[in-house]
Amino acid sequence: MTDAEKIRCSNDRDLFDALSRDPTIVRIKEHIARLEDDVPFRTRRRLLSTAVRLSPAMAPSLRSMADACIEKLGVSLPLELFVFPSPQHNAMCFRPEEGRLLVMFSSALLEDFEGSELVFVMGHELGHHVYAHHDIPIGSVLRGDEKPDPRLALSLFAWSRYAEISADRAGAYCADDRQAVARSLFKLASGLSGRTISFELDDFLSQVDQMQEEDADPSIRTPSEDWFSTHPFSPLRVKALELFHGSELVNSSGDSTAQLEMGVQKLMSLMEPSYLEAKTVAAESMRRLLFAGSLVVARADGEITQGEVGVFEKFFGKGAFKDTVDVGALEKDLDNRIERVREEAGVTQAMQVLQDLCIVARAEGHTMEPERLVLEAIATKLGLSAGFVTRTLEVDLGPD
Ligand SMILES: [Zn+2]
């Protein structure tokens, strides 16, 4: 087993394997492969015409960082580096074309990140390649014309977060510098260059702790919506990296790998649809809101279509939608169900249901204005911002 394989997050591997066998994923991958046969090397052509290729002579230190990451992670393909003009800190790795690996950085990131911070970002991007994350066409599945099973959509969401955890570990493994890795995440989170503000790791981590405490206390209604953003920063990623640094994968006297993965799973369980099965009062109130909410959203643009019934039943089980389901009555009861979630579940859980409602709406292939308005109204009544709906409906899901 390669070093990169050893440090890969086990939930990323398991979900990846399961998704790779999913018939919808297999079919969409075949479709994409046919398109690529028709128009090959699209990404590289686009990069050559819109970005600047950084030759080894132009960026010798970046090149040697890349070579060190390639060596540590066991990347076998030749690598081309690109920069594009942008004030945002951003980087991305593309699916290889013509046997070449393509990694692109924003200009701001290259100017503001230094040394091991940059190695972390480089290792993170190469990690996505080493773990073949681009083999799961998450963007095409969730944006395509075909309506995916909502459960599949939610699995993809959950997997994409574990995929980021693996990529972060690959980056941390390459950087081998806990402070620099945290500083890198701090720069991604704050947009700061580090030139005017000095970074304090302990203060940064205590902010994460505070968010977690407030989140556990339903009486504090500060919407910590950052919990739910996968990119460019989630406090969960910082926490997950701290667990990684404290494990035997980094230090032989650290926690066992099993303990590490359990800790990560506990962190991430805040963001997984486990409430569909859980037998707690909070989980039941969440299910009841999801049930009513998804039907009310589906009916927002007129009658509920056969397709929408199909999507709904994939979620709640066959036969869950009967003619006897009175959507009008559910709509009248919606405020009551929202109130129950506010009283019985935490802020994070409220966000979880709202996010799932958005994913279900998206999974129907398109989101119309009336549906969006219903979702925004639910958001407001849950005490969340309407912007949360917009972000979830529009988030670009490719690994970056
Ligand atoms: Zn990433």
pLDDT averaged per 10 residues, the chain (length 400): 93 94 91 78 82 92 96 93 92 88 94 96 96 88 70 81 94 95 86 79 74 56 45 67 93 93 79 69 87 87 76 73 80 93 82 82 73 92 85 64
Inter-residue contact 120 to 175 (CB < 8 Å): yes
Query: What's phi and psi for 173, nearest 5 deg?
Result: -65, -40
CATH number (domain holding residue 353)? 1.10.3680
Cα–ligand 1 centroid distance for 129 (angstroms): 10
How many angstroms separate the alpha carbon of residue 57 from the centre of ligand 1? Answer: 27
- Cα(37) to ligand 1 centroid in Å equals 27
Residues 224 and 286 in one domain: no
- Structure token pair of residue 170: 């690959």
Same domain, 145 and 227: yes
In the structure, ligand 1 is a single-atom ion and the residues with CB under 5 Å from it are 164, 167
Q: Is the domain of 299 the same as that of 245? A: no
Beta strands 52-54 and 101-106: pairing type?
unpaired
123 Cα–ligand 1 center, Å: 10
114 Cα to the center of ligand 1, angstroms? 19
Residues 242 and 293 occupy one common structural domain: no
Do 80 and 105 belong to one domain?
Answer: yes
* Residue 163 CA, ligand 1 centroid: distance in Å: 7
Q: How many Å lie between the centroid of ligand 1 and the Cα of residue 237? A: 11
Domain range for 96:
3-192+199-271
How many other C-beta atoms lie within 10 A of the C-beta of residue 266?
10
**Cα-based distances in Å from 180 to 168, 185, 250:** 13, 9, 15
| Distance of CA 162 from the midpoint of ligand 1 (Å) | 10
Beta-bridge partners for 105: 83, 91
344 C-alpha to ligand 1 centroid (Å): 34
The answer to whether the peptide bond before residue 232 is cis (omega within 30 degrees of 0) is yes
**265 lies in the same domain as 286:** no
User: SS in 3 state form for the chain?
Assistant: CCHHHHHCCHHHHHHHHHHHHCHHHHHHHHHHHHHHHHCCCHHHHHHHHHCEEECCCCCHHHHHHHHHHHHHHCCCCCEEEEEECCCCCCEEECCCECCEEEEEEEHHHHHHCCHHHHHHHHHHHHHHHHCCHHHCCHHHHHHCCCCCCHHHHHHHHHHHHHHHHHHHHHHHHHHCCHHHHHHHHHHHHHCCCCCCCCCCHHHHHHHHHHHHHHHHCCCCCCCCHHHHCCCCCCHHHHHHHHHHHCECCCCCCCECHHHHHHHHHHHHHHHCHHHHCCCCHHHHHHHHHHHHHHHHHHHCCCCCCHHHHHHHHHHHCCCCCCCCCCHHHHHHHHHHHHHHHHHHCCHHHHHHHHHHHHHHHHHCCCCCHHHHHHHHHHHHHCCCCHHHHHHHHHCCCCCC
- Single out the residue in 209, 242, 271 at which a domain terminates: 271
Rg of the chain's alpha carbons, rounded to an integer?
22
Query: Ligand 1 centroid to 341 CA: how many Å?
Result: 32
Measured in Å, residue 127 CA sits from the centre of ligand 1 at 8
User: Are residues 154 and 218 located together in one domain of the fold?
Assistant: yes
Confidence (pLDDT) at 117: 96
Q: Give residue 340 CA to ligand 1 midpoint distance, Å.
A: 36
Distance from residue 161's CA to the centre of ligand 1 (Å): 9
> What's the total number of domains in the chain?
2
Residue 308 shares a structural domain with residue 213: no
What spacing in Å lies between the alpha carbon of 314 and ligand 1's midpoint? 30
Ligand 1 center–CA 399 separation, angstroms: 5
**169 and 87 within one domain:** yes
Q: What is the pLDDT of residue 334?
A: 94
Q: Specify the pLDDT at position 221.
A: 41
Distance 165 CA to ligand 1 centre (A): 8
The span from the CA of 271 to the CA of 33, in Å, is 32
For CA atoms 245, 247, 249, 250, the dihedral sign is: positive
Q: Nearest to residue 226, comparing CAs of 89, 391, 399, 363?
A: 391
Domain-embedded: residue 400: no
The answer to whether position 34 is within a domain reads: yes
Would the CA dihedral through 321, 324, 327, 332 be positive or negative? negative
pTM assigned to the model: 0.74
Q: Assess if residue 399 is contained within a domain.
A: no
Q: Is the residue at 342 inside a domain?
A: yes
The span from the CA of 189 to the CA of 182, in Å, is 10
**Are residue 219 and residue 308 in the same domain, yes or no?**
no
Q: What is the pLDDT of residue 397?
A: 54
CA of 136 relative to ligand 1 center, distance in Å = 14
Q: For residues 154 and 258, state if they share a domain.
A: yes
The whole-angstrom separation of Cα 333 and Cα 289 is 9
Residue 289 counted as domain residue = yes
Q: Which of 216, 246, 271 is the last residue of a domain?
A: 271
The alpha carbon of 125 and the centre of ligand 1 are apart by a number of angstroms equal to 6
Distance 40 CA to ligand 1 centre (A): 25
Among candidate residues 228, 243, 271, the one where a domain is terminated: 271
Cα-to-centroid distance, 331 and ligand 1 (Å): 39
* Residue 309 shares a structural domain with residue 255: no
User: In this predicted structure, what is the pLDDT of residue 116?
Assistant: 96
CA 229 to centroid of ligand 1, rounded, Å:
12
| Interaxial angle between packed helices 178-190 and 201-216, expressed in degrees from 0 to 180 and rounded to the nearest 10 | 60
Q: What was the pLDDT predicted at 62? A: 95
Any domain includes 353: yes
